Structure 1
Amino acid sequence: MFNVKNIKIGYEDKIIIDNLSVSIKKSEIVSILGPNGSGKSTLLKSLSRILKIKQGDIYIGKKNMKVMSNKEISRQVALLAQHNVSLKDIKVKDLIYYGRMPHKGFFEGKNRNDDEIVTWAMRNTGLESYKDKLVSNLSGGERQRVWLAMALCQKPDILLLDEPTTYLDISHQLELMELVRDINKKFKMTIIMVLHDINQASKYSDRLIIMNNGSIVADGHPNKVISEKIIKEVYKVKCDIDIDPISKKPRIHPIMLCRRTSSI
């Protein structure tokens, strides 16, 4: 689905990622993990071309993103960004409709098919009873579902989520993660997420990519990737690891920081 070859990404003169290659298969749930500044969100933004690469190639299927228009990419890839701002007085159903824009001509208005897709997106995110409410009056978890519904309205093959559970309480975090997993199972949609919670990523993902200093240091099934050694090397944290009795995947229990030896 995604084939990333030898990419270099940066901001102005600062290189964040250098010579990174990775492939993402169709219908996978992939979570990208790593400490702050490791390049997680930078990589995710490059996959939607919000951030252009300085070198290398990214393919969607067999097509190089360099030769694709923004509209063409948006028909295949939807991004739920970390920070979203909506108009103050916009209704839920109207914000969700904006997800149809990649499929519309310049002067083309809303049609019955658009209405059906908006209804479909609301139904699959549990928002049908919210359709006439103002987005500004919703809770954080409810607003996040609205943005997810808007992304679904694009009818993408690939859904990118940048720290989707940030600022949500634990119940809304789990609700959103369950919803993302249901969408993957029901529609065979490829989902790539940046997450900070290692245990959530392990539980809900088919595959983990762990980054540090702009490079991939581990890549594979959670049972293969999560180890005391990797957590210590990447996060500088000593931990215990056991197996979640429901997911049968590893979960970590932090014990202490591995403090660096002072040279003073």
Structure 2
Amino acid sequence: MSQVVLITGGSSGIGKAIGTYLAQKNYRVYGTSRNPSKYSKSTPFPLLQVDVTSPQQIEAAVTKIISEESRLDVVINNAGIGITGPIEETPTDEIRNAFETNFYGPLEVIKAVLPQMRKQKSGKIVNITSIAGYMGLPYRGIYSATKSALEITIEAYRMETKQFGILMTSVAPGDFATNIAAGRFHAPVLESSPYQKAYGETLKTMNEHVDGGEDPMIMAREVYKILQKNQPKVHYRVGAFLQKFSIVLKRVLPDKVYERMLMNHYKLK
């Protein structure tokens, strides 16, 4: 029997790549998008309308899948948004929106699917976080915070749900060639801002990293491998060697040395 998969944010980028690859591997895939009609002809799997900040839309989508398939085997929490800017100058409403989408959204999805997975006594939940969540990155601190919060929460959540046969894990990608840079909220680079020069140059560097990122199909293949495991690890990291190695360096280097390394990387004084 083909396993049934729900992927949030399945219309483009990493989510679309994962959904396409799993569909090729004979999974029954359902994706979500805030505007599914815009992408309905570009994915080899159906898209349901879901804004992960809406518990009602999440619940409706999960109910529809279960009514059609009578089960739900895998959930991949992929939907998310980017946000950049000096923290001092980032509007509070945008900070809240980033947490609503990147942190509270996945938790609402998990809450909606757990009753069915408990009934089945099985299920896998894969949460797409970010290598950025392992460190406070300059001018991307809010994004880092949302992903870090999700990583830590899933560490606790997986221990709470193991008793029901439900397995959770987090997969942290580095830079991949997606449209996240175009879709993220950018606090404007203000000429009157004391951060104007440093933020402007850092923003350019960040966008170049995404544009030159790796193929999202690499993530798709890694997620597929994880789904084949009976006991997935707590955390996985997928990306360029130096990006993954930066996590190791953070563990072993003194804080100020690591901070200086990041500042040099972003050419900050």
TM-score normalised by the shorter chain: which range applies? 0.3 to 0.5
TM-score scaled to structure 2, two decimals?
A: 0.36
Structure with more relative contact order (C-alpha pairs < 8 Å, separation 6 or more):
1
Structure holding more strand per residue: 1
Structure holding more helix per residue: 2
TM-score scaled to structure 1, two decimals?
A: 0.36
